[in-house]
A and B are shown apart, each in its own frame.
Chain A
Amino acid sequence: MKLWAKIGVLMSAILAGCIIAVLVFSHRSATAALLAEQDRVLLLTAERLAQELKEPLREGQRDALPGMLRGLQERNGGIAYLFVKNSTGSVAAHTFSRSVPEDALHAAVLRGGGQRSVARLPGGEWYQAGVPVETGAGDELFIGEPGQARNAALHALWGRELAAGTLAIAFGSLLCFSVVYRLTRPLQTVVQGIQIIGQGDLDHRLPAGGRDEIGGLAREINDMAERRKTTEDMIMKLNFELEENVEQRTAQLTAANRELEAFAYSVSHDLRAPLRSIDGFSKALLDDYLDKLDAEGRDHLKRIRKASQRMGQLIDDLLKLSRLTRGDMLIEQVDLSAMAREIAGNLQAADPARPVRVTVQDGVTGAGDRKMLRVVLENLLGNAWKYTTKQPQPRILFGMAGNGPSRAFFIKDNGAGFDMHYVQKLFGVFQRLHSDAEFPGTGIGLATVQRIVHRHGGTVWAEGEVGKGATFYFTLGRAA
């Protein structure tokens, strides 16, 4: 129910209550006034009749009294009966067929002697007025009027009052509703405005001209909308700035990446060229001036060549590492068992004399970038192959360990092993736990493995014991 309707109903009810109260009150006094007026008219009639009786009675025509009364009754239609009491209190004459009824007689008493009065007989059927007849003999005239006539007048009064009350209530209610509606209209406008603003149109404003509370409310809401607009504008601006910042950072990052690529490029071009010269001309010296060099000189040149070749290898490995961390990944399901067998086959082919027993567990698969996973297996199997060189019965095992989330791929060998004390160093760039004389290498392989595994969201770790062998584990994180 709308507010204005509620208030309208309430006010109409109050109004109706008031009107009814007023009607009830005025009805009482109007009834009393009506009765008093009718009493007065009755008394006047009685007095007029008494006047007519006065002369004959004074002249002592007492015997003619009943006839005179009957004559008066006939001439005055509204009078139902008449009777006269004499000074002794007995009835001198009357118009009743038999005798004056007890009730009428009982009521026929003039207070204080000689005073006029009107009495309502019990039952309300009759109203009776009494007046003295100025004969000097103490006669009193009583006339009766039927109550029916008075009731009809009262009913008419009732009807008028009811009609007036109904009309007043109807009019009053209409007025109430229209006034309330008029008064609450601004409120409705405000409510609609709030809905519009609430739905996001922050530019909408309420009419705020009114000096009353609703006007104040409208102004308050307008202010609120204004503040919210300011806030939203600010948020938008901040967002915009944030995006700009992100764009700028991205641009910087892209620039840094490009610089890194340029660096890698120049490393591969520019650092290798001098190495080629060093190695090339050392070889030229060894070829062309062999007879002019003693054994030591030749040894020096050989060392120069070896060092430059090693540096070339280091640069190549470093570049490979940087390439692997830059390139895009293509995740697919990879048959690692097949891949491990193929790599082991290549290792055996390159080094046919070695009696290594390689065991590959069947059906080992993992989700990842095929090229990168190949690099991982090549490095781990290559290490196992290399670090079992001094073992008379070398064994390498590839498979899957554990189950559930702790599932990990592993490569186990029974080679040189390492000291667990230095296990943290294993995966660092150029970090080696064995000398180049013992086992040749650049110390980049495991760093590469770690980068790849991390890029797949996995982890890599190792266990080892000097002289007993090593096991390398890795997972592929969510991808696997």
Chain B
Amino acid sequence: MTGERHILLVEDNADDELLTIRAFRQNRILTEVRVARDGQEALDQLLGGTGGQLPHLVLLDLKLPKVDGFGVLRRIRQAERTRLLPVVILTSSREDEDLRNGYLLGANSYIRKPVDFDQFTAAVRELGLYWLALNEPPPLA
């Protein structure tokens, strides 16, 4: 059942998108990765229409066109359907303000993308291992 569920990567930078997916593949995490290129698209996928399968995990960038990461997170936590969805903020910033806001709005984790790709790959490996294998997800709504 877990196999059918996917990862939602909310990322506007095409390079980062490619590198993130590459890091997953290199770590042999084969879960399907769906991409939303701005905040609105992410919200549409999660909350729009009748609502298909919810993702296993949301990887959320903060700086996004249209609706930014905080806006997306707020809406996720407000909606009954997605309230318990694990959300990991994956961003360049490590400003205290962003960290505080992220956790205040109910992020489950906050990871800063390192410049060094080796470190980034390591981070994605830990992340996948923890959230997709080790962690028990909340029951489906």
On whether the two chains bind one another, the answer is yes
Which A residues are within 8 Å of any B CB, using their own CB? 264-265, 268-270, 272-277, 279-284, 287, 305, 308-309, 311-312, 323
Docked Cα-Cα span, A308 to B118, in Å, equals: 13
Given contacts A265-B95, A277-B15, 11 further A-B contacts (CB under 8 A): A270-B92, A272-B92, A273-B16, A276-B114, A276-B115, A280-B15, A281-B19, A283-B118, A308-B115, A311-B115, A312-B116
Task: Say if the beta carbon of B113 comes within 8 Å of chain A.
Answer: yes
Docked Cα-Cα span, A323 to B95, in Å, equals: 9
Contact of B117 among A264, A273, A276 (CB under 8 A): A276
Contact of B115 among A264, A270, A281, A309 (CB under 8 A): A309
A276-B113, A276-B120, A308-B115 known; A268-B92 Cβ under 8 A? yes
CB-CB contacts of B4-15 with A at 8 A, as 1s and 0s? 000000000101
Q: Are B63 and A269 in contact (CB under 8 A)?
A: yes
Docked Cα-Cα span, A272 to B91, in Å, equals: 10
Q: Are B95 and A280 in contact (CB under 8 A)?
A: no
Task: Say if the beta carbon of B81 comes within 8 Å of chain A.
Answer: no
Task: Say if the beta carbon of B22 comes within 8 Å of chain A.
Answer: yes
Contacts of B120 in A (CB 8 A): 276, 280
Docked Cα-Cα span, A55 to B94, in Å, equals: 161
Q: Which residue of A lies closest to B62 (CB)?
A: A269
Docked Cα-Cα span, A445 to B2, in Å, equals: 48
Closest 9 CB pairs of A and B: A312-B115, A277-B15, A280-B19, A283-B117, A280-B117, A272-B92, A275-B115, A269-B92, A279-B117
Q: Are A269 and B115 in contact (CB under 8 A)?
A: no
The B108-141 residues at the A interface (CB cut-off 8 A) are 113-118, 120
List, sorted by A's number, 21 A–B pairs whose CB atoms are closer than 8 Å: A264-B95, A265-B93, A268-B93, A269-B63, A269-B91, A269-B93, A270-B63, A272-B92, A272-B115, A275-B115, A276-B15, A276-B92, A276-B117, A277-B13, A277-B19, A282-B117, A283-B117, A305-B116, A309-B116, A311-B115, A312-B115
Distance of A276 from chain B, by nearest CB (Å):
5
Docked Cα-Cα span, A280 to B117, in Å, equals: 5
Contacts of B94 in A (CB 8 A): 268
By size class, the interface of chain B is 20 to 34
Contacts of B93 in A (CB 8 A): 265, 268-269
Docked Cα-Cα span, A73 to B88, in Å, equals: 158
Contacts of A282 in B (CB 8 A): 117
Distance of A327 from chain B, by nearest CB (Å):
8
Docked Cα-Cα span, A265 to B63, in Å, equals: 10
Docked Cα-Cα span, A305 to B114, in Å, equals: 13
Q: Are B13 and A273 in contact (CB under 8 A)?
A: yes
Q: Which residue of A lies closest to B121 (CB)?
A: A283
Contact of A284 among B22, B63, B95, B96 (CB under 8 A): B22
Contacts of B22 in A (CB 8 A): 280, 284
Q: Are A273 and B118 in contact (CB under 8 A)?
A: no
Q: Which residue of B lies closest to A275 (CB)?
A: B115
Q: Which residue of B lies closest to A282 (CB)?
A: B117
Contacts of A274 in B (CB 8 A): 15
Contacts of A269 in B (CB 8 A): 62-63, 91-93
Distance of A161 from chain B, by nearest CB (Å):
109
A276-B19, A277-B19, A283-B118 known; A268-B13 Cβ under 8 A? no
Distance of B26 from chain A, by nearest CB (Å):
8
Contacts of A284 in B (CB 8 A): 19, 22, 117
Contacts of A275 in B (CB 8 A): 115
Docked Cα-Cα span, A449 to B93, in Å, equals: 23
Contact of B16 among A264, A265, A276 (CB under 8 A): A276
Contacts of A311 in B (CB 8 A): 115
**Which of B15, B26, B116 neighbours the largest number of chain A CB atoms within 10 Å of its CB?**
B116
Contacts of A305 in B (CB 8 A): 116-117
Contacts of B19 in A (CB 8 A): 276-277, 280-281, 284
Q: Which residue of B lies closest to A309 (CB)?
A: B116
Distance of B115 from chain A, by nearest CB (Å):
3
Docked Cα-Cα span, A275 to B96, in Å, equals: 22
**Which of A272, A275, A284 neighbours the largest number of chain B CB atoms within 10 Å of its CB?**
A272
Docked Cα-Cα span, A287 to B26, in Å, equals: 10
Contact of B116 among A279, A281, A287, A323 (CB under 8 A): A279
Docked Cα-Cα span, A275 to B13, in Å, equals: 13
Distance of A439 from chain B, by nearest CB (Å):
20
Distance of A280 from chain B, by nearest CB (Å):
4
Distance of B121 from chain A, by nearest CB (Å):
8
**Which of B91, B94, B115, B118 neighbours the largest number of chain A CB atoms within 10 Å of its CB?**
B115
Contacts of B63 in A (CB 8 A): 269-270
Contacts of B95 in A (CB 8 A): 264-265, 268, 323
Docked Cα-Cα span, A130 to B115, in Å, equals: 157
Docked Cα-Cα span, A273 to B115, in Å, equals: 8
Distance of A311 from chain B, by nearest CB (Å):
8
Docked Cα-Cα span, A309 to B96, in Å, equals: 22
Distance of B31 from chain A, by nearest CB (Å):
20
Contacts of A308 in B (CB 8 A): 115
